[in-house]
Structure 1
Amino acid sequence: MPTLYECVHRGERHFGLDSPGATTLHLHPLGDLDLQATLLAADGDVPALTEALTRGREATPVPASDVRLRPPLLPDSVGDALVGGFMATHHAKVDAAENTMPNWFFKGLGDVLKVPGETLRVPSGAVALTEEAEVVLVYLTDPSGTPRYVGHTFGNDLTDIGRFKRNNGHLSYAKLCDAGISPWLFLDAPPRHVTGHVTIERDGGPVWQGAFTTGTKAILYDVPAMISGLFAYEALLAPGRVHYVYLGADRSSFHSGFSMEGGDRIEMRFGTHDVLLTNTVAAH
């Protein structure tokens, strides 16, 4: 299944359809192409989308190290992107569904999304930080105000879990940290099974390591019902808005008694999908 990504090369915007981990990327000039409109018009038909994207646009091979990748489909105006997600969704964290849908949280606008190599900002007064390896669903809101699924990627929902544990009414504050996100948009259905590994480094060496499992099979709730319940609220449905929906995480380093510090480097590898996120935490 191809992926779609956007990047900047020599000061110009491009897109490509290479797989994660490729050392050479084949870039097409973005020009006046409207990626959002093209995705909506394809309506999930990947061959038709590929044809529409590449018709008349020759690809130029360049080393992956020569480009600056962007969060997938990030609008030029960060206010047109809404980042949020669900908590306590996984079987590993809850024994039975007490409600028809889990709690949703707002994480920020488009500027909280950080691709690999960028810094994750956290408040200087954070109590106890933890990483959260998650599937991220991406929706484009069409001109009629209907959010339409266009693909998924993977992310790190960095959270001040210590603040939440100290006062569970403070979930909204605990989530207001930057979020890591992969630039690769997978153009297929949300994955059922994802496994991976996290390494946290401090002063140049590993200080915590652990595995994770996620994907829709690991989630206690019905994902389509979660999404339907979320998008029942008209306040979210402005045409043109891009939604990044984090689906919740398996156990994290916090559950092993570890707490991150400013300056720690998080390496999050989604092994089943060859996706690597690396970000450094910085308090401000």
Structure 2
Amino acid sequence: MRIIQCLHQDQPRAALVENEQTVRLTDGDTYSLAHRAIAAGRSLNEVVEAALTEMRLDYQQLVDERRLLPPLTHPDPAHCLVTGTGLTHLGSADTRSAMHAKAQASDDELTDSMRMFKLGVEGGKPAAGETGAQPEWFYKGDGDCVVAPETALPVPAFAADAGEEPELAGLYVIGDDGRPWRVGYAIGNEFSDHVTERFNYLWLAHSKLRACSFGPELMIGELPEHLEGTSRIVRDGETLWEKPFLTGEANMAHSLANLEHHHFKYAGCRRPGDVHVHFFGTATLSFADGIQTRDGDRFEVALPALGRPLRNPLAFETQAPDTIVHSL
């Protein structure tokens, strides 16, 4: 089952994707439906089916009218935590071979990144009941950094780069008892400043404090172990850059359960009522091929198993905000 979230009569409503042309409205938003499922001890599939109305909407019309929303939102954006993990994907066969060759070097010769990758390869998929290797982790922002599908990703005036990161995103709600519940998965564009990150890895935190997007569809249920997608940049109506990418556990050094454990083990990530958006990493970047994006370029991330592609144009900001701190 796949659902979207859209504006209907100025209110967010979840809708079942019936086909490429039609969605069927429910009587609530995704957040409220998830809490209904938790309270009733029922699956989200069952709750969505029970909440369906007779109202059907034209999917493309929602896109054209910019009425699509991220498929999961919190009524208060401050209670949505956006985070991610890196160095999780094995990449292509050639990349994997090269990384494994580097990983055979002595620990003294490994970079911090290679050491982290090696930890994941060796211990990122523990047996059930065991704790695996801790991954890299980063914070992107709260719900205010999330941009809806088909909406422009803002590039700050101080940014050195504006690069896509095609990824899987896990979407979660924390129950009233502090227990995390996975709502589903979505296509994500984690969107980072790779020039800033490359200058010094200690600037990774700075490079991640950017906008992001995920959706438009949320897949409920088990995720296929092997997923194939395409990342594309369109400029002036023409494809500037395009590359396939792989994701899913079969193409990752870590299991999803291990990544989830190391996120939700912190009490601050289990605050009742909160929403979490967690990006699982990627191995495909246009930046690695020397691409420099500019205003008006459009990112398109396609993972057919998760529905309609995620599309976002870029909007470069030219004026920096006033950040002077005034004494009281």
Query: With structure 2 as the length reference, what TM-score do the two structures score?
Result: 0.78
2:262 to 202, 214, 229: 229
* Structure having the larger proportion of residues in helix: 2
The corresponding residue for 2:10 is: 11
* Structure having the larger proportion of residues in strand: 1
1-side partners of 2:178 and 2:50: how far apart? Answer: 24
Change in Cα spacing, 1:188 to 1:44, as seen in structure 2 (3 Å) is farther
1-side partners of 2:308 and 2:5: how far apart? Answer: 16
The corresponding residue for 1:210 is: 243
2-side partners of 1:88 and 1:80: how far apart? Answer: 27
Determine if contact 1:35/1:73 at 8 Å carries over to the other structure: no
1:61 aligned partner, one-letter code: R
Residue ranges of structure 1 left out of the alignment (5+ in a row)? none
Residue ranges of structure 2 left out of the alignment (5+ in a row)? 101-116, 121-132, 318-328
- Matching of residues 244-259 of structure 1 within 5 Å: 244-259=277-292
Instruction: Report how far residue 248 of structure 1 moved.
Output: 0.2
1:167 to 196, 200, 204: 200
1:23 to 21, 32, 45: 21
1:144 maps to 2:177: yes
Instruction: Report how far residue 59 of structure 1 moved.
Output: 1.8
1:185 maps to 2:184: no
What RMSD over aligned residues (CA atoms) do the two structures have, in Å? 2.2
The corresponding residue for 1:97 is: 118
1:59 aligned partner, one-letter code: E
What is the DSSP-based 3-state SS (H/G/I as helix, E as strand, rest coil) of the residue aligned with 1:235? helix
Determine if contact 2:163/2:191 at 8 Å carries over to the other structure: yes
1-side partners of 2:236 and 2:4: how far apart? Answer: 32
2-side partners of 1:185 and 1:43: how far apart? Answer: 20
The corresponding residue for 1:64 is: 59
What is the DSSP-based 3-state SS (H/G/I as helix, E as strand, rest coil) of the residue aligned with 2:47? helix
Instruction: Report how far residue 16 of structure 1 moved.
Output: 1.5
The corresponding residue for 2:274 is: 241
Change in Cα spacing, 1:179 to 1:209, as seen in structure 2 (3 Å) is same
The corresponding residue for 1:40 is: 38
Instruction: Report how far residue 76 of structure 1 moved.
Output: 1.4
Change in Cα spacing, 1:235 to 1:13, as seen in structure 2 (3 Å) is closer
Change in Cα spacing, 1:272 to 1:29, as seen in structure 2 (3 Å) is closer
2-side partners of 1:212 and 1:51: how far apart? Answer: 33
Which range moves more in the overlay, 82-91 or 194-203? 194-203
2:224 aligned partner, one-letter code: P
Which range moves more in the overlay, 165-174 or 198-207? 198-207
Identity of aligned residues (%): 28
Determine if contact 1:156/1:180 at 8 Å carries over to the other structure: yes
1:74 maps to 2:73: yes
Instruction: Report how far residue 122 of structure 1 moved.
Output: 2.0
What is the DSSP-based 3-state SS (H/G/I as helix, E as strand, rest coil) of the residue aligned with 1:181? strand
CA distances 1:47-81 after superposition (whole Å, capped 9, x unpaired): 53234423xxx321222244312112201110111
1-side partners of 2:245 and 2:212: how far apart? Answer: 18
Query: With structure 1 as the length reference, what TM-score do the two structures score?
Result: 0.89
1:124 to 138, 151, 157: 157
Determine if contact 1:23/1:63 at 8 Å carries over to the other structure: yes
Instruction: Report how far residue 166 of structure 1 moved.
Output: 0.5
How many positions carry a matched residue from both structures? Answer: 278
Instruction: Report how far residue 30 of structure 1 moved.
Output: 2.6
Query: Which aligned segments of 4 or more residues in structure 1 are displaced greater than 4 angstroms?
Result: none
Instruction: Report how far residue 42 of structure 1 moved.
Output: 5.6
1:197 aligned partner, one-letter code: T
2:118 aligned partner, one-letter code: A
1:107 aligned partner, one-letter code: K
2:163 aligned partner, one-letter code: T
